[in-house]
């Protein structure tokens, strides 16, 4: 059986390059990647690019400290609708489920609101879709033990959010890409949301710290930050920092990645694809030793 041809929009970016690799790894042996030219300022070029493939995966940035490009996807939705040949569209999501974040703090809620605008456009155009919610990227949340403004483990002190026992889901970015590619020809994920919640990667911040302390052989001094203190610390930050910290608050204090059950409109990745052996966070943290 042949595999779908996939267009990755943002193929050289943080997640995009991993999705390209996962697509090549899972495709036929003679499959190769090729560059397809297109521009969001040239709608005809988008349509022509889309006509060449079966599946479109968009990985444009949705965070404020990079380029915040979520609504640019509306042009891609129009191109997919005009082309009429795409059997699956995976828009740029890969974080928290925006459908559950209507209460999110400003300005971070802008990301969720814009993702919902894109979802509405997809569904109104009757484009087949899969929404991928991938939880916490290990590169941003694990190496730093969920500390802000750093990507490496602290040497002496660690800030715990509340009691540190709220659980989140931590995913190696290559595993995110592997799961994403597995959905594209799977009828079980058609017009559904894919949640990544491998049980071994559902951890509290306190547990993450314990894993690091065991690996490093050094105990860290623990400083507790209440929710009120965390919110107060956002007040003098710039727009981009406030956006990111708001997301951090929902994950670390509300447990927004784990405080709900997956309904009939969703599927859990590790249940669908048990053959994927996810990177455990004790293994991931060894790269920092």
Active site positions, annotated: 115
Distance CA 161, CA 235 (A): 17
Cis before 120 (ω within 30): no
CB 283 within 8 A of CB 211: no
Instruction: Name every residue whose Cβ is closer than 8 Å to that of residue 9 and which is 6 or more positions away in sequence.
Output: 16, 56, 57, 58, 59, 60, 76
CB atoms within 10 A of CB 12: 10
Q: Nearest Cα to 74, choosing from 118, 114, 32, 104?
A: 118
Q: Hey, what's the torsion of the CAs at 271, 179, 243, 284, to 10 degrees? A: 90
Contact status, residue 107 vs residue 173, Cβ threshold 8 Å: no
256's CB contacts (< 8 A; 6+ apart) are: 96, 100, 101, 250
Write the DSSP assignment of 50-90 as a string of letters.
HHT-SEEEE-----TTS---GGGHHHHHHHHHHH---SEEE
- In the 8-state DSSP scheme, what is residue 199? G
User: CA 4, CA 200: separation in Å to the nearest integer?
Assistant: 31
């Amino acid at each position: 059986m042949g595999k779908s041809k996939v267009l990755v929009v943002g193929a050289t970016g943080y997640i995009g390059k991993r999705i390209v690799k996962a697509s090549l790894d899972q495709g036929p042996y003679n499959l190769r990647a090729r560059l397809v030219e297109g521009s969001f300022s040239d709608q005809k070029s988008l349509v022509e690019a889309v006509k060449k493939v079966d599946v479109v995966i968009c990985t444009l940035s949705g965070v404020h400290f990079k380029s915040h490009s979520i609504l640019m996807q509306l042009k891609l939705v129009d191109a997919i609708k005009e082309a009429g040949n795409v059997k699956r569209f995976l828009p740029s999501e890969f974080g928290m489920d925006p459908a559950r974040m209507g209460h999110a703090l400003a300005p971070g809620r802008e990301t969720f609101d814009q993702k919902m605008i894109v979802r509405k456009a997809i569904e109104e155009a009757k484009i087949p879709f899969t929404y991928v919610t991938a939880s916490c990227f290990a590169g941003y949340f694990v190496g730093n033990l969920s500390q802000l403004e750093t990507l490496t483990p602290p040497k002496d002190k660690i800030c715990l959010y509340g009691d540190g026992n709220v659980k989140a889901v931590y995913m190696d970015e290559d595993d995110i890409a592997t799961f994403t590619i597995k959905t594209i020809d799977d009828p079980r994920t058609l017009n559904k949301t894919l949640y990544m919640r491998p049980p071994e990667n559902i951890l509290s911040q306190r547990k993450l710290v314990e894993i690091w302390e065991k690996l490093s052989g050094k105990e860290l001094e623990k400083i507790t930050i209440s929710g009120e203190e965390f919110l107060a610390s956002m007040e003098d930050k710039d727009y981009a920092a406030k956006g990111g910290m708001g997301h951090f608050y929902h994950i670390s204090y509300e447990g927004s990645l784990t405080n709900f059950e997956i309904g009939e409109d969703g599927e859990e990745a590790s249940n669908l694809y048990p053959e994927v052996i996810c990177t455990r966070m004790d293994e991931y943290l060894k790269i920092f030793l």
